[in-house]
Amino acid sequence: MIERMTRIGSRLIAAPRALLQPAAGASVVRRIFGAMLTVGGFTILVKLVSTLKDATVARQFGVSDAMDAFGIAYILPSAAISIIAGSLNMALIPTFVGVRERKGLAAANQLFSGVVTLSAILLGIVAVLLALIAPVALPLIGAKFGPQKLALTHRLMLLLLPTLLTTGLGALCSGALMAGDRFALAAAVPAVTPLLIFASVLGLSRNCGIYTLAIGLLAGSMVELGLLAWGLSRNGISIVPRWPKLDPATREVFRQCAPLTAGALIFSGSVLVDQAIASRAAPGSVAALNYAAKVAAALTSIGANAVGLAVLPHLSRLVARDDWAGIRRVLWVYGRLLLMISVPVMLVFCAFSEPIVRLLFQRGAFTVQDTHLVAAIQRMYLLQIPFYILGILLVRAITALNANHVLLWVCILNLSVNTILDILFLRWFGVPGIALSTSGVYVISSSGVFLILMRILKSRENPAPNVPDAVPAFAVSEAGL
């Protein structure tokens, strides 16, 4: 056993050396590493700004009913942003890269403008639908909220709905920048929103109360969209909407987006389930859950952004070239490297969970009792870090392979397991059990995605006889098939 652990450790330690090996695909690995450093560095900066914002919000509002209301009010808009905008972003990049490789920047620009137009229409429709269902959905999510608290939640949600459009279009712009290997601006711009929320809380909270959070969030998303559009224009890509031609490339984007959206919609139910179950526990449980998730979310976001944003354009190019050995090399090198980094980080933050919460939040309305509860929940959330980040690498590889349909079944499994574990763990461990359930889901899902990805790669490397390799629809049209 000791010898086996020693061999495993030596292989993990050897992972960074692989970045410098001059084997096939090494240049791609090094470029990904550079992009990861850029994205990771700016993401850390963004999270530091967000931490300052969170500490200010905690000092001003604590775990009050107003914070509960804001947390529930933002669930549906943020879920819609994650589901639709995030799916469009991931579906756009492989096709955008393929069109630019085959037809040039002008064709890629036309594709992007058409996708932006259709996305704006879709996001607007969803925002209207959310406004219509809010009077029915919010009482279900916040089941123990009183009439005044529900009314406040409803007003906050209506104020937050425009962020669905601005943040959604911003995500598309960010994806187009990264598809062109312009990572710095896309990674730095998300610092704008927490900065404006921080300024709003300092300057407006006495007069506007909890509404200052919604005002800062909306203003930040608008400024971010403007900055990203400016960055695209400097790289020859216009965000000006054009009525799209439903050519094969545009259809391919939405064809790949459909399973991503469906899967994300199903998996977002996990957040709704977590919040709904927490709302049935003691008052302040929703706010405590949200505070406890922030450090783990910051750490996973740094890793996920650095990996997911940097790796997808490069993997998409390798897929376009049928470079399966290069793809396996990227997965092997970065899989080992991510585990080597993330496991120690997780252990350290778990050990110092309570001091971290005390440093970040324990002031003003945030009491010592709140610190104990939030720290316990935070430890459970932190357990997900290695599996979440590794899962991002694997999922991006599946997206680059245009095999997003398989992720739908993974999301169905995740929601089912999360719901069962939430109910069981809440009874056994209290509110920290909800966070433990989330970490357990990522352990299971990352293992499942790995097995699926290996099967897909094997089928692409060794296609069935007399069956042509699967290619995107826009590539088929170019071949005249």
The amino acid that residue 197 corresponds to is: I
Contact 172, 92 (CB under 8 A): yes
Residue 347 has pLDDT above 90, yes or no: yes
Residue 473 has pLDDT above 80, yes or no: no
Overall average pLDDT of the 91-106 stretch? 78
Which of 181-190, 251-260, 266-275 is modeled with the greatest confidence?
181-190
Overall average pLDDT of the 222-251 stretch? 79
Lowest model confidence (mean pLDDT) among 127-136, 172-181, 251-260, 411-420: 251-260
Q: What is the pLDDT of residue 148?
A: 84
Candidates 199, 249, 235; CA nearest to 99 is: 249
By percentage, how much of the chain surpasses pLDDT 70? 86
Q: Two tokens at 420?
A: 């069962």
pLDDT digits (tens, 9 = 90+) for 125-152: 988 999 998 888 888 877 677 788 888 8
Residue 478 has pLDDT above 50, yes or no: no
Overall average pLDDT of the 458-472 stretch? 58
Residue 62 has pLDDT above 70, yes or no: yes
Q: What is the pLDDT of residue 244?
A: 64
pLDDT digits (tens, 9 = 90+) for 17-42: 444 343 334 466 677 777 778 887 88
pLDDT band at 269; cut points 50, 70, 90: low
What's the rounded Cα separation, in Å, for the pair 292 and 456? 37
Q: Would you give the end-to-end CA distance of the chain in angstroms?
A: 55
What's the rounded Cα separation, in Å, for the pair 378 and 398? 30
Element (H, E) at 29: helix 26-61
Which of 121-125, 240-244, 293-297, 412-416 is modeled with the greatest confidence?
121-125
Per the model's pLDDT, the better-predicted residue between 27 and 451 turns out to be: 451
What's the rounded Cα separation, in Å, for the pair 471 and 34? 29
Residue 400 has pLDDT above 80, yes or no: yes
Q: What is the pLDDT of residue 18?
A: 42
Q: What is the pLDDT of residue 63?
A: 65
Q: What is the pLDDT of residue 8?
A: 45
Helices within 362-404 (DSSP H only)? 368-382, 385-400
Residue 192 has pLDDT above 80, yes or no: yes
Residue 463 has pLDDT above 80, yes or no: no
What residues have CB less than 8 Å from 338, skipping those under 6 apart?
A: 303, 307, 386, 389, 390, 393
What mean pLDDT is reported for the chain? Answer: 78
pLDDT band at 348; cut points 50, 70, 90: very high
